[in-house]
Structure 1
Amino acid sequence: MLIAPTYHSVEGAYLALLKLASYDYEHRIDARGNRAREVIGVGFRLPDPRQRLPYLAARKANPVFQYAEALWYLSGRRDLEMIGYYAPSMHANSADGISLGGSAYGHTLFNPADGDTLSPFDRVLELLRTETDSKRGYLPVFSAAELAIADNPDMACLAGLHLLVRDGRLHMVCHMRANDLDCGLLSDVFSFTVIQEYAAVQLGLELGSYTHVIGSAHVNEVNAERVERVLYEAQVRRPQYFPFPSMPAETTPATVAQVLEHEELLRANKAHYSADDIAGLDVDAYWQQVLLLFEVYRQISHDEVPAVSPDVLAALLPGLRWLLGHRWAACAPAGGAR
C-alpha cells in the first residue's frame, strides 16, 4: 500500500495538486483577505528528490531564487538584505524591514537553540550517526510562540522536517502547516530537498525518498488565471525532462560559505564574472552552476542588459538554461526560439 502518491518529479506532484485544489477542492476559505480553494491533509512522495524543478513555460519557475533561498536557509540567515534582492515581495512579510520571522526556516534549523552549543540540524546528524534506525531525528520549525504575536505577518508554514536513516539511505518527511500550491510549493520542495541532500552528504549516505505532507493545501484566487494556463499547457505540450546533478560528496558548511562570498560580491555588483572566471574558481562544478545563475541575475538586475552574456548562458546546464529562457527575455536564444 502506498502511503502517498508517488511522482517522478516535483512537476507531476505540482500539477496533480493544482488540479485537485482547482477543480475538486473541499472548501473555499478567506483567511486574512486571501480568498482560496482548499483541500485538507494531502501529500506526495518523490523517490528521487533531485528531480526538484518543473519545466513548464507558463509557470516561469525561477532557479535563481530557488538556489538563493536554499543557500539562505543552509547558512542559517534571516536577513532581508540577501533574500529580498531575489524576491522583493518578501519585504511585505517583515515586521521591522530588516529580518524575517517564522519563514526564516534556516535560522531555526542551523543556529543553536538557547543554552545549546550545536544547532538542531547538527544535533539530529549527531543522533543519526550513532542510532541509525532512530525515529527521533525530527527538526521542529513552527513554534507555538508564533501564535502569541498579534497580527503576525510571517508565521512559519513549515511545521518540521523528519530525517530517517533506513538501509543506508537518508529519507525525509516534510510536514507543512499550509502550502500555497502555486507560489510556495515549488520553492519549498526545492529548498527542503536540498537540505535533505546536504544532510545525506554530511552523513555519507545515499539520498532516499522525500515525502511532503500538507495540512492546508490551497490555491489563491488571485493566482487562478495562471494556474489555468499551467494546467492547459500540461495537457497540450510535449513534456520536458532534464536530469539534475548530485551534490558533491565534498560539500561542507565551508563550501556554502564560499559560494555565498561570491554571491554577495555579485549581489552588490562588486564582481563581474565571465564563464571562464567562474570555471577558474576553486569551487566544484555543481556550485559553479549556482554562481552562473547569480551572474545571470546580476546582469539582469544591475546591467539591465538586452541579452545576458552568451558565454555565461552556454555554460549552464540545459535545464537551467531552458528555465531562464522562459522567464527572462534577456536569457532567450537569439531570435526568440526556445
Structure 2
Amino acid sequence: MEFDTFHHAYAAVLRRVVEEPAFRNAPRGLPSRERLGLGFRLREPDQRVPLIPARRLNIAFNFAESLWYLAGRDDLDFIAHYAPGIRKYSADGRRLTGTAYGRALFGGEGPGQWRTVVEELRRDPDSKRAVLQIFRGEELAVPANPDVSCTLGLQFLLREGALHTVGFMRANDAYRGMSSDVFSFTFLQEVMARELGARLGEYHHAVGSVHVYDTDAARAREVLADPASSAAPALRFPALPEGDNWPYIREVLVHEEALRRNRLRIGPDTGGLGLPGYWAQVLLLFEIQRRIRYEETVDPELLDALTPPYRWIVTHWRPRTPTGAIGAGR
C-alpha cells in the first residue's frame, strides 16, 4: 500500500485489520484480530501524525518517546511520566528492556549502532548494510518476559541524495502502537537525514503480524467512523531544521528533564530559550504536558503560541485521566 502521509495510512491499515481480519487468535490470552505480512510506504514521512479527533493522540508522548530513544535511555522515570501505563511492561519496576530501543541504538561498547550506520553511509552512500538491529534473540529466553521488542530493526538506504528507511517489525498493534512507532521511526529517519545532509526520502513499514486487541475494537471503530479518517488533512507538520540537530536535541533533553521534574516553567514567548522554532515548539508541548500533570491552568496564550497542527492536536486530545498522560499504548 502506498500513501502520501501517515494520516492516510493509519486509517487504511486500521480498517483492514478491524473489518477484514485474516485470523482470530489470543496470544498470551489476549483475544485479537490479525493480518499477516502487511506493509505500506509513506511518500512524506515527516507528515507522521493522523489528524483524527477520535484517536486522541498525545503528541507530547510521541516526542518524548523519540527523544528517549535518542538519549539511549531505558528508564521508566523518563517515559512513564508521559505514559504511566507503560510501567506494566517493566519486569523490575525501574527499566524497560524490549521497548527501550534507544539502548540498542546507542548503548553498549564502542560508538553505538547509530554512529556506525552514519559512518557506513558516509563511507559508501550505496551501502545496503546500514541497519540498526533492535530485537535480540535472547529476549525469548526470559520466561514470561513482559517486554519483548516489537521492532526487529531499521534499515537506512541513501539513494540519489535522499535517505529512505525501512522499519521491520515482528508485530504491531494497529490501533495503539503503530501510531507511536511510525512517529518515532520517521523522526529518527529525519534526524539522520539532517545529520547526513540528505533529503528526506520515503518510509517503508513492514510488519509480520498487524493486530487489534478486542479491548480496543470499539475505540478503533470510533476512529473509523470519524469523518476525518477519510478526509485529507488540512494541516502540515513542520520540518526539522537543516543541518546537524544533535546540539539542539541535547539541549532539549536538559529542558525536558527540568519540566518533567517541575523545576522549569515556560511561557508563550520562547525566544529566550535560544532554540530554533521547531525545538521550541516541542518544549511548549512538554510545558503543556507539565501543566496538565501538575494540575495547572493551560492558558489560551500558550495554546495560541503553538504551530497550527500542534494546536489542533492538543485541543482535540481530551485526556481520559486526571494526569493527562494517555495515548501511548503498545
Query: Considering the TM-score relative to the shorter chain, is it more than 0.5?
Result: yes
- SS of residue in 2 equivalent to 1:173: strand
Match of 1:233 in 2: 226
* Residue 105 (structure 1) aligned with residue 95 (structure 2): no
1:287 corresponds in structure 2 to 279
Q: Measured at CA, do residues 139 and 181 of structure 1 come closer, stay the same or move farther in structure 2, by a change above 3 Å?
A: same
Q: Aligned residue for 2:300? A: 310
Quote how far apart the aligned CAs of 1:263 are. Answer: 0.7
For the pair 1:14 / 2:4, whether they are aligned, the reply is no
Task: Name the CA distance, whole Å, in 1 between partners of 2:32 and 2:274.
Answer: 47
Which amino acid is the alignment partner of residue 36 of structure 1? Answer: S
- Deviation at residue 58 of structure 1 after TM alignment: 0.5
Task: Please give the secondary structure, in 2, of the residue aligned with 1:48.
Answer: coil
Verify: 1:81 aligned to 2:73, yes or no: no
Q: Which residue of 1 aligns with 2:292?
A: 300
Contact 2:11/2:230 (<8 A) preserved: no
Consecutive unaligned residues in structure 2, runs of 5 or more: 321-330
- TM-score, with length taken from structure 1: 0.92
In structure 2, the residue matched to 1:193 is: 186
Residue 2 of structure 2: SS of its match in structure 1?
Answer: coil
User: What percent of counterpart residues are identical?
Assistant: 43
- Using a 3 Å threshold, how does the CA distance of structure 1 residues 250 and 275 change in structure 2: closer, same or farther? farther
Quick one: distance in 1 between partners of 2:296 and 2:28? 37
Distance 1:236 1:315 in 2: 27
Q: Residue 197 of structure 2 aligns to which amino acid in structure 1?
A: G
- The equivalent of 1:335 in structure 2 is none
Q: Which residue does 1:133 correspond to in 2? A: 126
Alignment of 1:22-33 (within 5 A): 22-33=18-29
Aligned 1:1-338 pairs, distance under 5 A: 5-111=1-107, 113-114=108-109, 117-234=110-227, 239-276=232-269, 278-305=270-297, 308-328=298-318
2: distance between equivalents of 1:147 and 1:59? 32
**What secondary structure is seen at the aligned counterpart in 1 of 2:273?**
coil
Which whole-Å CA distance do the structure 2 matches of 1:248 and 1:219 have between them?
Answer: 36
Change in Cα spacing, 1:237 to 1:121, as seen in structure 2 (3 Å) is closer
Larger mean Cα displacement after TM superposition, 135-144 or 245-254: 245-254
Distance 1:329 1:106, change over 3 A: closer
TM-fit CA distance, 1:236: 8.2
Counterparts in 2 of 1:235 and 1:288: CA distance versus 1, 3 Å: closer
| Secondary structure at the counterpart of residue 218 of structure 1 | strand
Deviations 1:307-335 (A, max 9, x none): x11221111011111111111379xxxxx
**Secondary structure class of the residue paired with 2:237:** coil
Matched residue, 2:325 = none
Would you say the 8 A contact 2:223–2:229 is kept in 1? no
Contact 2:9 2:40 in 1 (8 A): yes
Give the deviation of 1:279 after TM superposition. 2.4
Give SS of 2:239's match.
coil
Letter in 2 for 1:221: D
Task: Give the secondary structure class of the aligned counterpart of 1:86.
Answer: coil
1:323 counterpart SS class:
helix
Match of 1:334 in 2: none
The 3-state SS of whatever aligns with 1:303 is coil
For 2:76, the aligned partner's letter is L
More deviation in 262-271 or 83-92? 262-271
Inter-CA distance 109–329: structure 2 relative to 1 (3 Å threshold): closer
Q: TM-score, normalised by structure 2?
A: 0.94
Deviations 1:282-316 (A, max 9, x none): 111100010000010111111343xx112211110
The structure-2 alpha-carbon separation of the partners of 1:205 and 1:235, relative to structure 1 and needing over 3 Å to count, comes to: closer
Paired letter, 1:263:
E
Q: Quick one: distance in 2 between partners of 1:310 and 1:251?
A: 33
In 2, the alpha carbon distance for the partners of 1:245 and 1:319 equals 9
Closer, same or farther: CA 212–238 of 1 in aligned 2, 3 Å: closer
Per the TM alignment, residue 23 of structure 1 is displaced from its structure 2 partner at its CA by 1.4
Instruction: Considering Cα pairs closer than 8 Å and 6+ residues apart, tell me whether 1 or 2 has the greater RCO.
Output: 2
Deviations, residues 1-30 of structure 1 (Å, cap 9, x unaligned) = xxxx11111121111111111111111110
Cα distance in structure 2, aligned partners of 1:236 and 1:280: 38
User: CA, structure 1 residues 216+304, in 2 after alignment: closer, same or farther (shift >3 Å)?
Assistant: same
- 1:235 Cα deviation after fit: 7.3
